[in-house]
Amino acid sequence: MNDQQNAGTQQVWFITGASKGFGLELVQQLLRQGHRVAATSRNVTELRQAVGHESPDFLPLAVELTSETSVGEAIQATVQQFSRLDVVVNNAGYGQLGSLEELTDEEARANFEVNVFGTLNVIRQAMPQLRKQQSGHILNISSIAGVLGTFPGWGIYCATKFAVEGLSEALSAEVAQFGIKVTIVEPGYFRTNFLKSGSLRLAEHQLPEYTQVRESEAYHDQLQRADSQPGDPAKAAAAIIQVAAEANPPLHLLLGQDAYDMANMKIKALQNDMTQWQALTVSTGFAESTTA
């Protein structure tokens, strides 16, 4: 029996980006269920206010995810406080909207620093403890934009989430021998703060020629103003908690009917390309030798 089984139903969770959205909803539900939660934010005062109450089971941490030292100190503080680590949720990130031509190198790299390298920092710092325990579950919050990239203006954000998908699949293969599980969470549109200015950045220098990108900006602005995203973040958090309790969790967890439909669309498009171009695809190998 491993340490996680010995710990019973109460688990220790480490959640990044916990002051709003999915992260905050997870923290609140987990504390109500009696779990122990270490939660990170760049602003720990804002995090405490958002959670709304102090508890010996709640450890708020001020963390800069782009600093591996800061992340390492947070993981160390979590283990020191709660003696173990069961579930790691890489939730922190932000959206970057703008065509690939419009976005500067600085804007693009900044999105990767948080969405990809911040995630890697947490994984690297958490893995020694998880390997020691021979147990644990890492959930990386991706997006349907990590499955399907045909969104005008979302190229860099999609690229960060495609990177999260790839590293998570590799991570799953690497850590299975240690009893550690990995799940990639791929939400569609949910009523969180994601489309608001604190979580979504626009290109500083915009080109009027990109009319589809401007239409995408207007659509998403209208969506957040109307608060009309179809997904319920409370139900999403509950689904994530349920999956974390599974003995055999999925590698990919789509959340939302819209995410499910868009993933199906991607699969069909890929299958169509494979079928249509099969002859050319398989023609590129070395010809079999005809000599005796």
CATH of the domain at 166: 3.40.50.720
Separation of alpha carbons 217 and 287, rounded Å: 51
pLDDT of residue 9: 81
Percentage of residues in the chain with pLDDT exceeding 90?
Answer: 79
Q: Does 289 fall in a domain?
A: no
19 belongs to the catalytic site: yes
Identify which of 80, 168, 177 has the alpha carbon closest to the alpha carbon of residue 129.
Answer: 80
Would residue 181 show up in a list of annotated catalytic residues for this protein? no
User: Phi and psi (nearest 5°) for 167?
Assistant: -70, -30
* Number of compact structural domains in the chain: 1
The answer to whether residue 290 is domain-embedded is: no
Spatial contact of 57 and 31, defined as CB atoms under 8 Å apart: yes
Write out the residue range of the structural domain in which residue 33 sits: 3-284
* pLDDT of the residue at 1: 34
pLDDT of residue 228: 60
H-state helical runs in 33-179? 44-51, 68-82, 105-112, 118-133, 155-175
pLDDT greater than 90 at residue 215: no
The mean per-residue pLDDT over the stretch 241-249 comes to 97
Region 5-33: mean pLDDT is 87
pTM assigned to the model? 0.91
Res 30 pLDDT > 80 = yes
Whether residue 170 is contained in a domain is answered as yes
**Residue 130 clears pLDDT 90, i.e. is over it:** yes
Residue 291 within any structural domain of the chain: no
7-11, 120-124, 130-134, 137-141: segment of lowest average pLDDT: 7-11
Residue 272, Cβ neighbours under 10 Å: how many?
10
CB 94 within 8 A of CB 199: yes
Q: pLDDT category, 3, cuts 50, 70, 90?
A: very low
The answer to the question of residue 46 being in a domain is yes
Supply the pLDDT for residue 195.
62
Tell me which of 26-35, 230-239, 241-250 is least confident.
230-239
The answer to whether residue 110 sits within a structural domain is yes
In a domain, 292, yes or no: no
User: Which residue in the list 99, 135, 157, 168 is annotated as catalytic?
Assistant: 157
Mean pLDDT for the chain? 91
Note if 161 is an active site residue.
yes
Range 177-189 average pLDDT: 96
Catalytic: 142? yes
Confidence band (pLDDT; 50, 70, 90) for 200?
Answer: confident
Query: What confidence category does residue 187 fall into, taking pLDDT thresholds of 50, 70 and 90?
Result: very high
pLDDT band at 2 (very low <50, low <70, confident <90, very high): very low
Q: Which of 221, 223, 215 is nearest to 188 (CA)?
A: 223
Among 24-38, 79-93, 137-151, 190-204, the least confident range: 190-204
Which residue of the set 41, 142, 143, 216 is catalytic? 142
**Annotated catalytic residue within 20, 161, 189, 216:** 161
